[in-house]
Amino acid sequence: MSLEQFKNRNVGTQNYVKLDLDHSPTTGWCQFKQVVKRTFKPELFVGLGVTFREMVNALFRGKMHTTQYPFEKLPISPRYRAIHDMLRLLESGNYRCIGCGLCEKICISDCISMETKYDENQRKEVSEYTINFGRCIFCGYCAEVCPELAIVHGGRYENASEQRASFSLFEDMLTPIDQLNLQQEYAGFGAISPNADENVKSTPLAY
Amino acid sequence: MVSTIFLTATALPEVIWIGVIIKAVLILAVIAAIAGFGTYIERKILAFMQRRLGPQHVGPFGLLQLAADGIKLFTKEDIIPQHANKFIFSIAPVITAATAFIALAAVPVFPDFTIPFTDILVPSIASDINVGILFVLGMMAAGLYGPLLAGMSQGNKWGIIGSARTAIQFLSYEVVTGLSVLAPIMMVGSLSFVDFNDYQTDGLWLVVYQPIAFVLFLIAGFAETNRTPFDLLEHEAEIISGYVTEYSGMRWGLFFIGEYANMITIGVIASIVFLGGYNDFLFIPGWIMIIGKIAFSFFFMLWVRAAWPHVRPDQLMWLCWKVLMPLAVINVLITGLVIMI
Amino acid sequence: MYETIAFYTFAISTTILFLITVMSKNVLYAMTALASGMVMISGFFFLLGADFLGVVQLIVYVGAVMALYGFAMMFFDATRDIKEKHQNPALVFLLGGLMALMFVVIFSAPIIGDNVQALYPIVEGVGNAQAVGMVLFTKYLVPFEVAALMLLVAMIAGIILAGKKMDYSLTTSEAADEEINVEEKLQADIEREKGEA
């Protein structure tokens, strides 16, 4: 199938399959015939059969559809923009942020604030770094502009907490040093979710 | 005909008051528990049919969900709207629940049995009146005053629409229920449930002779218990909640206990009148059979709810008066002719 | 003993309920009292051992009063009291009182004269329904059939009255459109006449 076939929007000339719908009955006799036909069609029982089949599928063939959310979570797409992660350098374990301040500049809702100073090696050090999540609109500009891939959007979407400060400090977003080996590199903007293969289904057009 | 009545009159062993009280307590406890438990079963089965898990977290397999719901309903604020007719508003749910249980007084649930090591005989019916089936149907009809009064007293337009639908739906389907059980009544020649049961002891089940009456009775039963293909009274998409719109807390809960008790009553009537009652079947004892039949009819109601869509009010009336009622009348006529010949 | 208690309970509650039916200005109270009064009356039938009639009373009047509720729903606001018009309360009181007195005399005369006898006493072993059927289809066959005929006439009349214009829809039918046009024309005529006057 070539691409042109999809671009052809001319409805009249394509091979559409027309549904064979009956006309609504006009006379009393036609109505009666329709009632009799519908009465003796097993459609209602087909409906019962479908629901029963689904129940058997769910109970005995492991096709239960429920995700018991707080206990199990579906993998989230890398494109999802949730609470930010601050990444570390894998070699030294030091944080990647070089204190350039680009994220603070580009932030359109003005929610990032950072203070930097020179440390003893005359290297920029981040002394304060907070993101005000009451204001953040999760646009992703900060991650896009970061030259060092230091700030990226993570997958933490459960934002309920007792205090807003609980996850807006630099240390909270920073990868814990003991979990450095688990640190995920940012997959890139076009990346697909890890369970994408399972989610691929034939579209209804295939039936 | 007369001889069968004599038989039942003489064959009944002595029933003492303790037996009746035990039976009444048994019915109240078992049916009230099942009626409450029905909410759990309904949610679970509907969930399975939609490939969900249903209530899961309160107790093992969510079994204590019932207790959680009960606590919630009991402790919820009982709101009575300012411009409602307060007295009628308060008694309407009681009517539904009370009549549902009064109807069960004349329904045989288990066969007669004697309590082991004593001489106390527990009869199959708490009160064996000769016109049992009419009494039960009449009591269920009286129970419809609950929704009607609830809708009219709350001063809410959804309530009024709900009670108007109650009136038309139940007045119409009363006719079909009555006519559909008339044919089996003619065959058995009695209005007593015990006679219905005894009639099927040796012979085939009545559903074999009266398949049309059985189907009609089931359809009308769905309409009278306000179950899904005909649950226009509280159709959420159209009229919010119909007659229960303004109710909260335990008053709301009483409506549902009544509804589930009615479902069980319809199940009991269907199994005794059409499906062979509490007779032994091959090697299976009668009390297991009757429990199985009632459970299946309960399950069937939930199954239908999962599978079939609602009908419109005009379709409902059309179905009743133009299809079901003529069919029922023809069925009665044919039964009469066959009996005469 | 129990029967006496039951009788007086039913008697008092029936009287009170029907009094409420007559006295109350709220349509909902009146109707509900009427319905429950009917249920209470069926209690008397049960007390007398006429189970069948009691149940029939229950079924028939429950349905009948429900139809009345339908009218109440259409005509009144159920949550408010109704203003009643009393043209001549004294006359109403007098006539009503006289009628009540007459009924009491009519019904108590045979009791005083000891002439109350059961024409068809309950036979042991014959069910209630059978007994009623026997009487209905032998002695009272003609009144029974006449009543059936009258009900049939009433039913057909009702169908004709209600079903006159059932066949075409008000929104799509041309005939209905024409009717609307005619009515509009009439309305316009009336308004023009008013204007001319």
* pLDDT single digits (tens) C51-100: 788 888 888 888 788 888 878 777 777 677 777 777 788 888 899 899 98
Q: In residues, how long is chain B?
A: 341
Please tell me which of the candidates C35, C78, C129 has its beta carbon nearest to residue B153: C78
| Average pLDDT of chain B to the nearest whole number | 80
Task: Indicate whether C129 pLDDT > 70.
Answer: yes
As given in the structure block, the two tokens for residue C174 are: 């041309």
Cβ contacts of C56 on chain B, cutoff 8 Å: 134
Q: Which helix (H) or strand (E) holds C187?
A: helix C174-196
What would the DSSP string read from start to end of B56-114? -SSSGGGTTHHHHHHHHHHHS-----TTS-HHHHHHHHHHHHHHHHHHHTT---S--EE
Determine, for residues C28 and B139 on separate chains, whether the beta-carbon distance falls below 8 Å.
no
Q: In DSSP terms, which residues pair with A95 in a beta bridge? A: A88
DSSP state of B154: T
Instruction: Note the pLDDT tens digit of each residue in A67-101.
Output: 888 888 888 888 888 888 888 888 888 888 888 88
Query: What region does A131 belong to: left with phi over 0, alpha with psi -120 to 50, or beta?
Result: beta
CB contacts < 8 Å between B and C, how many? 96
Minimum Cα–Cα distance from C77: chain B residue:
B155
Please tell me which of the candidates C28, C56, C62 has its beta carbon nearest to residue B153: C28
**In whole angstroms, what is the distance from residue B134 CA to residue C58 CA?**
9
A5 confidence band (pLDDT: 50, 70, 90): low
What would the DSSP string read from start to end of A19-31? P-PPPPP-SHHHH
pLDDT on residue B9: 41
Task: Indicate whether A1 pLDDT > 60.
Answer: no
Question: Quick one: average pLDDT of B300-311?
Answer: 87
B181 confidence band (pLDDT: 50, 70, 90): confident
Q: In DSSP terms, which residues pair with A112 in a beta bridge? A: A131
pLDDT on residue B128: 67
Task: Indicate whether B139 pLDDT > 90.
Answer: no
pLDDT on residue B203: 72
The helices-and-strands tally (H runs, E runs) of chain A is 7, 4
Task: Indicate whether B5 pLDDT > 50.
Answer: no
Alpha-carbon distance B9 to nearest alpha carbon in chain C (angstroms): 8
Q: Is C151 on the interface with B (CB under 8 A)?
A: no
- Give the residue from B32, B6, B34 showing the smallest Cα distance to B295: B34
Radius of gyration of the CA atoms of chain B, in A: 21
Give ipTM to 2 decimals: 0.76
Mutation target for B interface from A51, A54, A61, A66: give the one with most B CBs within 10 A. A51
pLDDT on residue A14: 63
Instruction: Note the pLDDT tens digit of each residue in B71-98.
Output: 888 888 888 888 888 888 888 888 888 8
| Average pLDDT of chain C to the nearest whole number | 80
- Through-space distance between the first and last CA atoms of chain B, rounded to whole angstroms: 17
Question: Quick one: average pLDDT of B254-275?
Answer: 85
Q: Is B321 on the interface with A (CB under 8 A)?
A: no
Question: Quick one: average pLDDT of B152-171?
Answer: 84
Which region among A18-27, B259-268, B325-334 has the lowest average model confidence (pLDDT)?
A: A18-27
Determine, for residues B51 and A54 on separate chains, whether the beta-carbon distance falls below 8 Å.
yes
The segment with the largest mean pLDDT, out of A120-129, B119-128, C123-132, is A120-129
Instruction: Note the pLDDT tens digit of each residue in A160-188.
Output: 777 766 667 777 788 888 888 888 888 77
Sequence-ordered list of residues with C-beta below 8 angstroms from that of C25, at least 6 positions apart, any chain: C81, C82, C83, C84
pLDDT on residue A153: 86
| Average pLDDT of chain A to the nearest whole number | 81
Q: For C131-164, b where at least 16 C-beta lie within 10 A, e where not — what string?
A: bbeeeeeeeeeeeeeeeeeeeeeeeeeeeeeeee
**In whole angstroms, what is the distance from residue B246 CA to residue B90 CA?**
11
DSSP state of C125: T
CB contacts < 8 Å between A and B, how many? 41
Exposed/middle/buried for residue B25 (C-beta within 10 Å: 0-12, 13-18, 19+)? exposed
pLDDT on residue B7: 39
**In whole angstroms, what is the distance from residue A162 CA to residue B338 CA?**
78
Task: Indicate whether B125 pLDDT > 80.
Answer: no
CA A169 to chain centre: 25
Q: In residues, how long is chain C?
A: 197
Query: Is the CB of residue B99 less than 8 Å from the CB of residue B224?
Result: no
Query: Is the CB of residue B26 less than 8 Å from the CB of residue B120?
Result: no
Q: Is C163 on the interface with B (CB under 8 A)?
A: no
**In whole angstroms, what is the distance from residue B33 CA to residue B257 CA?**
9
pLDDT on residue C177: 61
pLDDT on residue C152: 93
Side-chain half-sphere CA neighbours of B274 within 13 A? 24
More confident site: C49 or A109: A109
pLDDT on residue B209: 81
Chains with 3+ CB–CB pairs under 8 A to A are B
Determine, for residues B85 and C130 on separate chains, whether the beta-carbon distance falls below 8 Å.
no
What would the DSSP string read from start to end of B276-332? -TT--BTTB-HHHHHHHHHHHHHHHHHHHHHH-----HHHHHHIIIIIIHHHHHHHH
pLDDT on residue A204: 66
More confident site: C123 or C37: C37
Residue with tokens 């999802």: A80
**Could you give the percent of chain B with pLDDT greater than 70?**
90
Determine, for residues A50 and B45 on separate chains, whether the beta-carbon distance falls below 8 Å.
no
Mutation target for A interface from B41, B43, B49, B310: give the one with most A CBs within 10 A. B49
Alpha-carbon distance B281 to nearest alpha carbon in chain C (angstroms): 30
What would the DSSP string read from start to end of B7-33? HHHHH-----HHHHHHHHHHHHHHHHH
Query: Is the CB of residue B192 less than 8 Å from the CB of residue B262?
Result: no
Q: Is B211 on the interface with A (CB under 8 A)?
A: no
pLDDT on residue C150: 95
A2 confidence band (pLDDT: 50, 70, 90): low
**In whole angstroms, what is the distance from residue B133 CA to residue B125 CA?**
12
pLDDT on residue A11: 60
Q: How does strand A151-153 pair with strand A84-86? A: antiparallel
As given in the structure block, the two tokens for residue A182 are: 């688990």
Determine, for residues A58 and B308 on separate chains, whether the beta-carbon distance falls below 8 Å.
no
Query: Is the CB of residue B257 less than 8 Å from the CB of residue B35?
Result: yes
pLDDT on residue B119: 64
pLDDT on residue A106: 92
pLDDT on residue C16: 92
Backbone dihedral angles phi then psi of residue C31, each to the nearest 5 degrees:
-65, -45
Q: Which helix (H) or strand (E) holds A17?
A: none
pLDDT on residue B15: 62
Instruction: Note the pLDDT tens digit of each residue in A50-62.
Output: 888 888 888 888 8
Q: How does strand A84-86 pair with strand A112-118? A: unpaired
Sequence-ordered list of residues with C-beta below 8 angstroms from that of C63, at least 6 positions apart, any chain: B141, B171, B174
Interface of B with A in 212-271 (CB under 8 A): none
Instruction: Note the pLDDT tens digit of each residue in C149-197.
Output: 999 999 899 888 877 766 665 556 566 566 667 777 777 787 777 777 6
Task: Indicate whether B20 pLDDT > 80.
Answer: no
Exposed/middle/buried for residue B80 (C-beta within 10 Å: 0-12, 13-18, 19+)? middle
pLDDT on residue C146: 94
More confident site: B326 or B28: B326
Question: Quick one: average pLDDT of B243-260?
Answer: 84
Q: For B259-295, b where at least 16 C-beta lie within 10 A, e where not — what string?
A: bbbbbbbbbbbbbbbbbbbbbeeeeeebeebbeebbe
Instruction: Note the pLDDT tens digit of each residue in B208-238.
Output: 788 888 889 988 888 888 887 888 777 777 8
Q: What ranges do the domains of chain A cover?
A: 12-65, 84-180
pLDDT on residue C99: 93
Question: Quick one: average pLDDT of B160-165?
Answer: 85
pLDDT on residue B307: 87
Determine, for residues C52 and B190 on separate chains, whether the beta-carbon distance falls below 8 Å.
no
More confident site: C2 or C114: C2
B1 confidence band (pLDDT: 50, 70, 90): very low
**Could you give the percent of chain C with pLDDT greater than 70?**
83
CATH 3.30.70.3270 given to domain A84-180: yes
**In whole angstroms, what is the distance from residue A7 CA to residue A2 CA?**
9
Cβ contacts of B53 on chain A, cutoff 8 Å: 64, 66, 68
More confident site: C143 or A40: C143
Task: Indicate whether B108 pLDDT > 70.
Answer: yes
**In whole angstroms, what is the distance from residue A49 CA to residue A35 CA?**
22
